[in-house]
Structure 1
Amino acid sequence: MLYLKIKDLYKRKFKVAQIAKELKISRPTVYKYLEMTFDEAKAYTELPIGKKKKLDSYKDWILAWLEEYPHLSAAQIHDWLLERYPNLAVGGSTVRSYVKDIREFYQIERKVTVRQYEAIPEQPMGKQLQVDWGETKQKTTESKEIKLYFIAFVLAHSRQKYMEWQTRPFTTRDAIRCHENAFQFYGGCPEEIVYDQDHLITVSENAGQLLLTAEFQSYVNERKFKVHLCRRADPESKGMIENVVKYIKGNFADSRVFSDIEDWNQRGLQWLMRTGNYQVHQTTKKRPAEVFLVEKQHLKPVSSLLSFESTNNQSITRSVSKDNTIRYKSNRYSVPLGTYQTNADNHVLIEVTGEEPPTLVIRKEAESEIIAEHVISLEKGKLIQNRNHIRDRSKGVEEFKRRLISFFENKTQASGYFDEISQRYPRYRRDQFAIIHQVIKQYPTVIETVLTKCMREKLFSANDFRDMAKHINRLPHEPVKEAKSFYTYPAKYSHIKTSTRSINAYTSILGGLS
């Protein structure tokens, strides 16, 4: 059959490359058959394929299986061979190569069952939100590698996206917290949310009677949205969020360097505004951010604090960042310095008052005293700070300068020197003073000389001060001894004083001008 097909296509003026492509065989095979007569081709097919191969003894079995089940993979055939011949020692690559040759030689094309998809009508506004999780590996600023985890959301109608990252795997509490943040980001809640069968939210599908985890079930009861679970091993049923996860990995995360999780999340929100929700969507041909302005009006409004969380002492919390801020509705709000503690529980509770203007109230624990209050900003990406939460940096630097001046005897000169450094390096005053402080501790005996020389040479830099101290410290420090006269005079002549001539007398003798 292969011989006849090649001859037929050749008579129809197909080129060798076209015949090879059409029949899915190599060009040398085409050339070989074109040079044969029918009887030669018949005799050739009755011979073993090419040179003697390890699987030739099993050729009849393999050929029979492929003719009856054309869709079989080489891996399945390998397994069937081992099932029939347990002592057969052959590698997977050998089986793949042999099966490929059999298919080509006998023109047995692998029939792949293709799932047929139908276009799904656009979801109504505010109807559906799809959610999924992902993870990536990122290079850090220290040239190390870190694993990051994220949760992604997308509104089915507008394609408006939201994401949140963390450095550890998600828990159910994390998932609930991120849902709340997403609802605040979107300004409301949809009618239903589509999930994969993830262990964070579900126990079992149970033939349509969904069994959710207790904590997530309480959350669903409170927020009153429908849960739609995709069938197992069926990612196509939520292809929209699958594409978003790939988009986040391939566009935002790809080759981006990680410094810390707060910065990473902030850059993620900026990417959403700049690219993820701004670029024209290839299916809708619209910008998600523009369509979302209309869809937002169809979302169900959500309260700022869940009642079930208050009664069960499981309040939706906010994590305090290292810079002593929390995030709320895409803005950062300050808390008092020292709220963030290393290796401690850095969570606070928030509450939004119904007053005008709305106020964000922050507490360390339920019913405890308020640690911070802020008027809620309607903008995004802003830092809202209370003056009481800001360190008085100038006071600390000035105190440092006064301590340094106290080490010098000539305090007026030292004060002028440090004032000049402050004017030249206003942003790096503390760094400059720290270097000088180290010099004072290392070379305490020469700092007066160093200060004088630096003032005289106008060297107003901590590095110059340090270099001058090193140089002077290397010089010998023995006191200069008074030279003794080579001549001694009797004591009786000690009362005689020599006269001293003026310089004009010597100038006149030498013939110079007076």
Structure 2
Amino acid sequence: MKSDGEIMEILEAYDLTKSFRAAAVLAGCSHHTVAKHVAAREAGKPMAEPVAREKITDEYLPKIEELVDKTRGRIRADVAHQKLVGMGFEGSERSTRRAMAQVKDAWKLGRVRVHRPWVTEPGGWLQYDFGDGPSIGGVKTVLFVAWLAWSRFRIVIALRDRTAPSVFAALDRCFRIIGGAPVYILTDNEKTVTVSHVAGVPVRNLQTVDFARYYGVTVLTCQPADPASKGGVENAVKVAKADLVPKDTNLRTEYGSFAELEQACQEFMAHINTREHRSTKRIPAAMLTEEVLRLHRVPADAHTVSFGLARTVPPNTPMVTFNNAMYSVPSHLLGQRVFVRSHGTGPDEKVVIVHHGPAGPVEVARHGRARPGSPAINDEHFPGYLEKIPGDYTPRARTGAEAEFLAIGGGAVAWLKEAAAVGTSRINVKMAEAVSLAKIAGVIDVDRALGTAAIHGRFAHGDLSSILQAGRANITTHAANEDTSLTQGTGAWAAITTISNEVKP
């Protein structure tokens, strides 16, 4: 087949010579070729159009089209090939695959779904969705991701579950972060929003309706498989998970606590909202300053009906009572109001405590179900607390004499505890004696002697001096060697004999 350039040369040669043979000599081809292209030009037909060749699959195309249409384009080529072989097809599987690909492309071409871009206005739409967060201490977390459709401002909040109170608390925090509430809130058809469908119409959850009425917003659910309206927040979830969930690709280490995950979410929002968005070519934080003028005001107090029962933390004990049992809260909430609710049933039941602060409602504690008389306590809620054990007393000096005695050391402390436990009399006099001995014999030796007296229970008058003298006595040791022996000699007997002879008359 001639190329386009060769065809133009052939036609040009014919236009110059008006002879098939002369043009063939100039173009270097057969005069029959020149005649064919000249005739095609005169007839107004496309030149150099490839001639369709018969294929071995042409006879079976109606069956292939039937299979593709019946399975809505999902049938595999190898399955179709087996059916064609059963009908007498003698071609290869490769031929079947080529024919299947052409038929599928033609079938899909007439059924392509056309998406119209979703044009939003400032202050109109806030979308939210969820993503699987990292596991902390073996417990899975949830990433709540919200997205303002016009400004592309993104909010990521770490949650411990996807229950209605947690979602409402997250939405309240979103409103306070962006500085207002939009007209519409768009999300999926979850149980927290939609309880059922009747004839394709979603039936709203009463708690969601109450929440929406309180904040003056309208909660809507998106149409199934509608990326034009909800694709933005789904993409935001994908980006948040890629950055916040520890993976080999982002080099993030495991989180040690839930507070670390919350801090990572704050850093992620600060980063992603201050860089240029690829669609708008503007910074989302800058666009939010324009959109906030179209948002309506958020109530000063959060919607607390679904958060649970209100409780006031005592001013000196960070504990609250719920269903006749007590649960601890962080110590910085002393005197504050919190909301307590239960979540789950059976062994997995949890008691969730929420505090509403300037930034919105925040979950501050989560305990297992406690029994009356057996409070649920988290040691982290009592910083600096020292457990007091009966019988384990810590001596504290109240007078100068007591301070001098306790300053001797650990032996003095042990002596005082043991002496007091056995009811030793005149302890103050003996303590003063120990202080005087320490000035004479040294603090180290007296402290050691007091420790020895505490161990052996010697608290009588003079025991301390005796122990001190015994410890300071020089003890002569004897050792056998090549020149001396440990065997007793007769020198002592000789001395006795000598004395006896001297006293004779």
After TM superposition, the score normalised by the length of structure 1 is 0.49
Report the structure number with the largest CA radius of gyration.
2
After TM superposition, the score normalised by the length of structure 2 is 0.49
